[in-house]
């Protein structure tokens, strides 16, 4: 069986030599290049399983090489070598398509782990099966599944936004399961459920005797997720002092347990999520802007259930089979009940649908599920939207006023559809967050 082949691109001979020696110990053959031109020639001539490239090269920019590889050779994982402390450069590389980065001076252990992750990516197809599924055939669900496959190849931090109950943790698990860290731990943590005084110990661990009750050494969540993925759910709930510490961990890739004198290196991919509008919290000074940019390298949005009502029959059937434990569950959703569900706002999304069907199974007397059995709250029902009739121009007609009324109506529907998450509403409207805020103020909708 032929050995994997790696391409190392750096104008410093000692960096090329270090990478070559490290890769040789992993039984990986190496080709080296000192310029972008040399790298492009080698890429065209041979098939590589990995590429490491420096940021600054004599005849060009490492970011351009990352984009070239992502466009022409998408099967090759490419990692960026950056100067110490150049986290902004690393983030640019991740956004350009790099799957990870390593800082100078290059740590051999970090380089070894990065290489192992990269080779796993190139050996297996990105669309392999996961133990979890994200159901739905509507366009929003197809888009999120396609995004998950792409994002899984990267090691960049991912931020998942969306309303409560939309399956943000499931999306995070799928990203983990489809990526090179799938054989390592996936550690989910609800940031809002940990008392502030215990948060540092929970995240970073502690040493025996470091505080009252610390009767022994204990690993934190970061150490528990070593080599795998740490999922920070409801990251907006982190208190300010923990936001500062989390920022340092992301930048230094190391944690300091409470009571310890030295930092402990950690190799963890961070995925975070929140149902709150982080951009708005940043604007209000309630969430650190620098941390926001570190965890927001790649953004995914979990669609609300009311955005894909055509998937309701599929979801209802799947949930009923899971509740009853039977492939043929015997329940039939009536046409009127289905129409009622499709007009329901679902403030709790799929989680609320699961609760509704749990109640139906417990209380329904017959196999047919009717509207009455659903027990939906009337205040959350949506009227079927009628097609508005455009007025005839004439005496008293004001075009500007009519346009403003139409704009107000569309923005209100976008806000309603996004659960009044302004960032998500701006995305639905195809405008920037600042443009939406301007229009809200102009139309008196603030």
Kindly give the interhelix angle for 312-324 and 349-363, rounded to the nearest 10 degrees: 50
Is the pLDDT assigned to residue 235 strictly greater than 90? yes
C-beta of residue 152 within 8 angstroms of C-beta of residue 179: yes
276 and 217 fall within a common domain: yes
Q: Which of 18-22, 187-191, 402-406 bottoms out in mean pLDDT, i.e. has the lowest? A: 402-406
171 and 264 fall within a common domain: yes
Residues 6+ apart with CB under 8 A from 327: 321
Residues 6+ apart with CB under 8 A from 88: none
Q: What tens digit of pLDDT does each residue of 276-320 get?
A: 999 999 999 999 999 999 999 899 999 999 889 889 988 988 888
Domain extent for 418: 399-442
39 and 81 fall within a common domain: yes
pLDDT value at residue 96: 78
Is the pLDDT assigned to residue 255 strictly greater than 90? yes
What's this model's pTM, rounded to 2 decimal places?
0.68
Confidence bin at 390 (pLDDT 50/70/90) = low
Q: What tens digit of pLDDT does each residue of 264-276 get?
A: 999 999 999 999 9
Confidence bin at 394 (pLDDT 50/70/90) = low
pLDDT value at residue 124: 53
Better pLDDT: 54 or 426: 54
pLDDT value at residue 27: 85
117 and 47 fall within a common domain: yes
Does any domain span residue 72?
Answer: yes
Does any domain span residue 388?
Answer: no
220 and 325 fall within a common domain: no
pLDDT value at residue 87: 67
**Share of residues in the chain with pLDDT > 70 (%):** 91
* Domain end call among 94, 123, 152: 123
Tally Cβ neighbours within 10 Å of residue 290: 13
Better pLDDT: 101 or 287: 287
* Domain end call among 271, 301, 331: 301
432 and 286 fall within a common domain: no
CATH number, domain with residue 175: 3.40.50.300
**Share of residues in the chain with pLDDT > 90 (%):** 31
Q: What is the three-state SS of the chain? A: CCCCEEEEECCCHHHHHHHHHHHHHCCCEEEEECCHHHHHHHHHHCCCCEEEEECEECCEEHHHHHHHHHHHCCCCCEEEEECCCCHHHHHHHHHHCCCEEEECCCCHHHHHHHHHHHHHHHHCCCCCCCCCCCCCCCHHHHHHHHHHHHHHCCCCCEEEECCCCCCHHHHHHHHHHCCCCCCCCEEEEEHHHCCHHHHHHHHHCECCCCCCCCCCCECCHHHHCCCCEEEEECHHHCCHHHHHHHHHHHHHCEECCECCCCCEECCCEEEEEECCCHHHHHHCCCCCHHHHHHHCCEEEECCCHHHCHHHHHHHHHHHHHHHHCCCCCCCEECHHHHHHHHCECCCCHHHHHHHHHHHHHHHCCCCEECHHHHCCCHHHECCCCCCCCCCCCCCCCCHHHHHHHHHHHHHHHHHHHCCCCHHHHHHHHCCCHHHHHHHHHHCCCC
Confidence bin at 443 (pLDDT 50/70/90) = confident
C-beta of residue 155 within 8 angstroms of C-beta of residue 118: no
pLDDT value at residue 445: 77
Average pLDDT in the chain: 85
Q: Which of 114-128, 370-384, 386-400 bottoms out in mean pLDDT, i.e. has the lowest? A: 386-400
How many residues can be counted in the chain?
A: 446
Integer-rounded Cα Rg, in Å, for the chain is 26
113 and 232 fall within a common domain: no
C-beta of residue 32 within 8 angstroms of C-beta of residue 81: no
232 and 287 fall within a common domain: yes
The total number of structural domains that make up the chain? 4
Does any domain span residue 394?
Answer: no
Bridge partners, residue 5, by sequence:
29
What is the rounded average pLDDT of the residues 369-395?
A: 70
Question: CA 122: distance to chain centroid?
Answer: 21
Strand order in the sheet with 100-103: 29-33, 5-9, 50-54, 78-82, 100-103
C-beta of residue 63 within 8 angstroms of C-beta of residue 96: yes
213 and 119 fall within a common domain: no
pLDDT value at residue 130: 43
42 and 154 fall within a common domain: no
Better pLDDT: 186 or 100: 186
Is the pLDDT assigned to residue 128 strictly greater than 60? no
Is the pLDDT assigned to residue 384 strictly greater than 80? no
161 and 276 fall within a common domain: yes
Q: What tens digit of pLDDT does each residue of 431-440 get?
A: 888 788 878 8
250 and 288 fall within a common domain: yes
Among 211, 182, 297, CA closest to 250:
297
C-beta of residue 304 within 8 angstroms of C-beta of residue 414: no
Distance (Å, whole) CA 391 – CA 101: 58
């Amino acid at each position: 069986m032929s050995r994997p082949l790696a391409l190392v691109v750096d104008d410093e001979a000692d960096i090329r030599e270090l990478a070559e020696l490290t890769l040789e110990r992993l039984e990986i053959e190496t080709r080296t290049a000192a310029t972008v031109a040399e790298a492009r020639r080698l890429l065209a001539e041979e098939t590589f399983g990995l590429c490491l490239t420096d940021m600054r090269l004599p005849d060009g920019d490492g970011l351009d090489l990352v984009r070239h590889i992502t466009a022409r050779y998408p099967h090759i994982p490419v990692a960026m070598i950056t100067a110490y402390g150049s986290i902004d450069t690393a983030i640019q590389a991740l956004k350009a398509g790099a799957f990870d980065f390593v800082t100078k001076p290059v740590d051999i252990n970090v380089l070894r782990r990065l290489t192992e992750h990269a080779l796993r990516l190139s050996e297996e197809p990105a669309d392999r099966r996961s133990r979890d599924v994200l159901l739905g055939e509507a366009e929003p669900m197809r888009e999120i599944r396609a995004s998950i496959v792409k994002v899984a190849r990267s090691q960049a931090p991912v931020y998942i936004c969306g309303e409560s109950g939309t399956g943000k943790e499931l999306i995070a698990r799928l990203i983990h399961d489809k990526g090179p860290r799938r054989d390592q731990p996936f550690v989910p943590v609800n940031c809002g459920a940990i008392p502030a005084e215990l948060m540092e110990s929970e995240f970073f661990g502690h040493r025996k005797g470091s505080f009252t009750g610390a009767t022994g050494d204990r690993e934190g969540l970061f150490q528990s997720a070593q080599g795998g993925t740490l999922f920070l759910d409801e990251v907006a709930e982190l208190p300010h002092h923990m936001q500062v510490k989390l920022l340092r961990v992301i930048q230094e890739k190391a944690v300091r347990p409470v009571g310890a004198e030295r930092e402990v290196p950690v190799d963890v991919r961070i995925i975070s999520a929140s149902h709150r509008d982080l951009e708005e919290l940043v604007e209000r000074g309630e969430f650190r802007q620098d941390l926001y940019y570190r965890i927001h390298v790649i953004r995914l949005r979990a669609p609300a259930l009311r955005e894909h009502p055509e998937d309701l029959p599929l979801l209802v059937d799947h949930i009923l089979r899971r509740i009853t434990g039977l492939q043929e569950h015997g329940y039939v959703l009536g046409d009127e009940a289905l129409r009622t569900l499709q007009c329901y706002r679902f403030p709790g999304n799929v989680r609320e649908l699961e609760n509704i069907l749990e109640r139906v199974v417990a209380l329904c007397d017959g196999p047919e599920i009717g509207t009455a059995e659903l027990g939906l709250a009337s205040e959350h029902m949506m009227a079927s939207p009628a097609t508005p009739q455009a007025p005839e121009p004439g005496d008293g007609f004001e075009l500007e006023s009519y346009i403003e009324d139409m704009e107000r109506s569309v923005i209100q529907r976008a806000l309603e559809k996004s659960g009044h998450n302004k960032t998500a509403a701006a995305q639905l409207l195809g405008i920037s967050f600042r443009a939406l805020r301007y229009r809200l103020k102009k139309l008196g909708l603030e």
